[in-house]
Amino acid sequence: MLTKEENELLSQVGPGTPMGEMMRQYWMPVIYDWELETDGQPQRVRVLGEDLLAWRNTDGVPAFTQNLCPHRGASLYFGRNEEDGLRCAYHGWKFDVNGNCVDMPNEPSTSNFKSKLKITSYKGADFGGIVWAYMGANQETAPLVPQFEWGLIPEEQRGHTHKFIQECNWMQLLEGELDSTHVYFLHSRVNKEDSPKYGLYHPGQTAKFHVINKDYGMMYGAQRDEKGSEYWRVAHFLYPIYGMFPAVNNGIVPLSIYMPVDDNHTLHFGLRWHPNKPLEGSRRPKFELPEEPGVLGGPGPMKPEQKGKFFANWWPEVNHETDFHMDLSAKKTKSFTGIPSVRQQDAALEWSMGPVMDRTKEHLGTADAAIIKTRRKLIAAAREFADAGTPPPGSQNPEWYTVRSCETVLPAGANWQEDLGPWLNAKTPEYPDPLATGRTAA
C-alpha cells in the first residue's frame, strides 16, 4: 500500500513532476520507423504529457517537435515537411529538426528575428525498428539508445507483435507485467485436458519468489516444484518502463514496453526476437481476432483512423466499451475469462482499476514482491533526481539492457543464477537446459 503522495509521484509523468522529469533522462520508444516517411506527413504523438509531432526530414533524420507554431499558435501538423524543415501552413515559418527557425518569409529580408527564435524539438533516433525520442534538457549530449539485443541483431530475427493505446496509467500496466502468479489464473484454461490454445496450465498456482537487484532494475525468479525438479520462470524489470517476461524453450525472447503517453493513457508495444535464428511469419503487428477465446492473438483490430487524436491509428476496437468481447459460453467451458487473447485479458483487468489505480486501498501479499520492489526503486530514483540531480539508473548505461529471460526446468537445488546466467546475460545463443518443458504453453 502506498500513501496518496507516493501514488501521485509514481503515476504522474507530465513536465515538472518528479517522475516525469526522471523519465525525460531516458530515451522513450514512440513510433515505428516505417510510420515516418522522409519529407512525409508529420504524425501526432503525445509523450510524457507533451503533444508533439513526429517527423523525418529530407536527410531521413527523425525529430519530435512541438505541435503549435510560436507565431500565432497554429498547428504545424497542417504544415509542409520539405527541404530539411517543417514549414507552418499559416505564414510559412520554417523550423529544422533542432527547433531552429530557418526561414521567416513574411518578414523583411533585413530582419534578424528568425535567428532569435527556437522552438521545442527533441532529438530522435532509429533503433530496432522504432523511432525513439530523447526529451532530456541537454540535447547535445544525449546518451545512446538502450542497447537491447533485439536492436543489435539482423531485422529478420526480430518481430514487432503489437502496439495499441491503453486507457489507463502506465504503472498499473507495468505492474501486471511483473506479476508472475496471475498467469495461471487470468490466462488459464478451464479444463486441464483441453488444447493449450484455450489457456495455460500448471498445477502449482503459488510460487517461491527470488527478487534480485540489478543495475538495470531487477531480475526475479518464480520457483515451482516440478515432479522432483524445479520449474523456473525468470523475468526482468528494466528501468523505467520495460518488462521482459519469460522466454519459452524455442529461444524466442519477448519484451513489453509501457510508454507513458500521459497520466491516463499508455502506448503498449510488444516485440520478440531470437538471438541467432530468423523468425517465421510477419515481423509487423497483426490485427486479427482468434477464432475462439484463449491465449492466442494480440489486441485485435484497431479502430479506423482517429483523426485529430495522438497515435491516431492505434486505438483498439476491443476495449472497455465492448467488455473486451467477453464470451460467456467460452468462459464456462474453455477459457478462464472468455476474453479473446492474453493482451485483451491483461487490458480488461488493468483498465478496470480506473484511469489511475488508487494504491492507498490495496492489500499486497508475498506474491507481490516484485511489484513492491519495483515501486520502491522507481520512487527512489525519481526523488534522487529531483533532490540531487542524480542520473537515474541505466539512463547513462545503454549497455546494461542486453539481457534475456527464460522459463525452464532445473534439477532440485540447482544454482539457478549460475546455471542460467550465460543465457540471461546474452553470453550464449543456446537456450538453457534441454529438459525445459515450455510449461506456459501446455
| CB contact at 8 A, 38 and 21 | no
Residue 240 sits in the same domain as residue 129 = no
- Bridge-based pairing state of the strands 253-262 and 265-273: antiparallel
Task: Give me 187's grid cell.
Answer: 490466462
> CA geometry: angle at 369 spanning 365 and 373, to 5°?
130
The pLDDT tens digits for 62-89 are: 999 999 999 999 999 999 999 999 999 9
Residue 153 sits in the same domain as residue 137 = no
Count: domains in the chain: 2
Residue 197 sits in the same domain as residue 221 = yes
Cα–Cα dist 357/392, whole Å: 24
Give the domain CATH number at 76. 2.102.10.10
Residue 240 sits in the same domain as residue 91 = no
The pLDDT tens digits for 418-435 are: 999 999 999 999 998 655
Q: Please state at what angle helix 342-351 crosses helix 170-177, rounded to 10 degrees.
A: 130
Residue 111 sits in the same domain as residue 163 = no
Average of pLDDT values for 370-374? 93
> CA geometry: angle at 238 spanning 175 and 188, to 5°?
40
Residue, of 442 and 157, whose pLDDT is higher: 157
In a domain, 3, yes or no: no
In a domain, 17, yes or no: no
Residue 305 sits in the same domain as residue 227 = yes
In a domain, 13, yes or no: no
Residue 230 sits in the same domain as residue 363 = yes
Beta strands in 111-174 (DSSP E): 121-127, 130-134, 158-166
Task: Select from 125, 141, 157 the last residue of a domain.
Answer: 141
Residue 93 sits in the same domain as residue 155 = no
pLDDT at 435: 53
In a domain, 2, yes or no: no
In a domain, 18, yes or no: no
Cα–Cα dist 155/268, whole Å: 21
Cα–Cα dist 66/37, whole Å: 18
Residue 79 lies in domain: 27-141
The pLDDT tens digits for 304-315 are: 999 999 999 999
Task: Select from 141, 168, 200 the last residue of a domain.
Answer: 141
pTM over 0.85: yes
In a domain, 6, yes or no: no
Residue 208 sits in the same domain as residue 349 = yes
Q: Read off the amino acid at residue 289.
A: L
pLDDT at 248: 77
pLDDT at 378: 98
In a domain, 15, yes or no: no
The pLDDT tens digits for 240-275 are: 999 999 887 689 999 999 999 999 999 999 999 999
- Percent of the chain at pLDDT > 90 equals 83
| DSSP result, 200-214 | B--S----EEEEEEE
Beta strands in 135-200 (DSSP E): 158-166
Q: Is the dihedral of CA 172, 176, 182, 183 positive or negative?
A: positive
Task: Select from 141, 165, 191 the last residue of a domain.
Answer: 141
Residue 136 sits in the same domain as residue 153 = no
In a domain, 11, yes or no: no
Residue (of 168, 127, 210) closest to 416 by Cα position: 210
Mean residue pLDDT of the chain comes to 94
Q: What is the largest CA-CA distance in the chain?
A: 84
Residue 85 sits in the same domain as residue 162 = no
Residue 68 sits in the same domain as residue 111 = yes
pLDDT at 434: 52
Cα–Cα dist 71/431, whole Å: 57
- Percent of the chain at pLDDT > 70 equals 97
Q: Is the pLDDT of residue 180 over 80?
A: no
| CB contact at 8 A, 27 and 293 | no
